[in-house]
Structure 1
Amino acid sequence: MEILRNYQLILETGKTTTEKALELFDTLEPVNLGFMFGRWHGSGLHTNHPMDGLLEISNWYGKEFIDSENVHPLLFLDSRGEIFQVAPNPTLMNWVLKLPIPKNNSFKPLLILINSLLKTEKSQARLRMMEYREKVTATMIYDYLPINDSFRKVDENTVLGIMDYKNISQPFFFILKRCL
């Protein structure tokens, strides 16, 4: 019951500390590969991470897991509200994380334009069962970035994700809700 109250408070505010997010993540059950198949709508969980707010101002939609070999890790919305897939760019990722980009809507048009230049139809990740924080769970492995996203089950249609990026010691948290 304490876990549920913790989770509800985190969802209401959209923010928490890294420590509390890790505590919550560690209490949740792992998921298998099949559980992740489908399209998911995402939202960031703010923990004072350099990426906090960045996905929202860039019109991030979520992720899509076709099967274990074909994953679209970055789905975005264009200016018409249409979903498209983006190929993550390692150079751009490092640049964005090093520069102090204001997390407000004034940069939204520029970020949407940049994302539109990175459109792809090709899968950019895969899904494997991997151990992370002492539990084996479904983990998305980017093809061209040193990033693994591990998932834990909140309920039948919600997972808490944690991005483990080799270049930043602090994990980034996000919530995925299954598109029904």
Structure 2
Amino acid sequence: MSTSVSTESRALALVLGEERPSPGELAPLFRALPPVAVADLTGLWRGGVFDHEDRMARLLTRLRWYGKRFHDADDVDPLVCRTDDGGLYTYDGMGSARLREVVFDGVASAAMIYDGRPIIDHFRRISPDVVMGAMDAKGEASVLYFHLTREP
């Protein structure tokens, strides 16, 4: 991953499921991706995780997590989930959130801050319509890496 293009290409291949990440690959991959602006996240995004065995990933699966909805910088639905009939709803068990530019691993980029929980989701750009996220939750032993793809 010597260039930004190859870093973004590798990240996109992982998002698309063309390959599985190797052990320890996600953190350096995330760090190598460019920042994303808060304003670039507006809209509905479909989500996915890279490590389905992670404790938080299993929780998201049980909730039937669909993704996130960013109305604006001060109004975010952090957990959009699926209903039994396939519809979408905002799961309110984690509260609401907001977007701010936050420094993480030395890079200022958009981050979603939960209003009532010690959780920050940091974002980096893979493409204009795909981002990689790093969920940094106080008290968790590891960071959960995930991805979001903008819905049309």
Q: Is the 2:67–2:78 Cα contact (8 Å) retained in structure 1?
A: yes
Greater displacement, 4-13 / 153-162: 4-13
Q: How many residues align?
A: 147
Please report the TM-score for the alignment, with normalisation by the length of structure 2.
0.87
**Greater Cα radius of gyration, structure 1 or 2:** 1
Counterparts in 2 of 1:84 and 1:47: CA distance versus 1, 3 Å: closer
| Structure 1 unaligned residues grouped into runs of 5+ | 90-122
Q: Matched residues in 1 for 2:36 and 2:66: separation? A: 21
Q: Deviations over 1:133-169 (max 9, x none)?
A: 1100000000111000000000010000010000113
In structure 2, the residue matched to 1:67 is 72
Candidates 3, 6, 30, aligned match of 1:2 = 6
Q: Deviations over 1:108-146 (max 9, x none)?
A: xxxxxxxxxxxxxxx700000010111000000001110
Percent of pairs with identical residues: 29
Q: Is the 2:8–2:33 Cα contact (8 Å) retained in structure 1?
A: no
Counterparts in 2 of 1:18 and 1:141: CA distance versus 1, 3 Å: farther
- Check if 1:50 corresponds to 2:22: no
Moved over 3 A (4+): none
In structure 2, the residue matched to 1:112 is none
Candidates 165, 171, 175, aligned match of 2:143 = 171
- Check if 1:131 corresponds to 2:103: yes
| Structure 2 unaligned residues grouped into runs of 5+ | none
The amino acid that maps onto 1:31 is: V
Q: Deviations over 1:27-82 (max 9, x none)?
A: 11101111011110001110753223432343111000111110000000100111
Q: Matched residues in 2 for 1:144 and 1:14: separation? A: 36
Q: Matched residues in 1 for 2:23 and 2:98: separation? A: 26
Counterparts in 2 of 1:47 and 1:79: CA distance versus 1, 3 Å: closer
Which aligned pairs between 1:87-166 and structure 2 lie closer than 5 A? 87-89=92-94, 124-166=96-138
Q: Which secondary structure does the structure 1 equivalent of 2:25 belong to? A: helix
Counterparts in 2 of 1:15 and 1:88: CA distance versus 1, 3 Å: farther
In structure 2, the residue matched to 1:81 is 86
CA deviation after TM superposition for structure 1 residue 175, in Å = 0.6
Q: Matched residues in 2 for 1:70 and 1:80: separation? A: 26
The amino acid that maps onto 1:150 is: H
Q: Which secondary structure does the structure 2 equivalent of 1:65 belong to? A: strand
Please report the TM-score for the alignment, with normalisation by the length of structure 1.
0.74
Q: Matched residues in 2 for 1:18 and 1:42: separation? A: 21
Q: Matched residues in 1 for 2:92 and 2:119: separation? A: 14
More helix by share: 1
More strand by share: 2
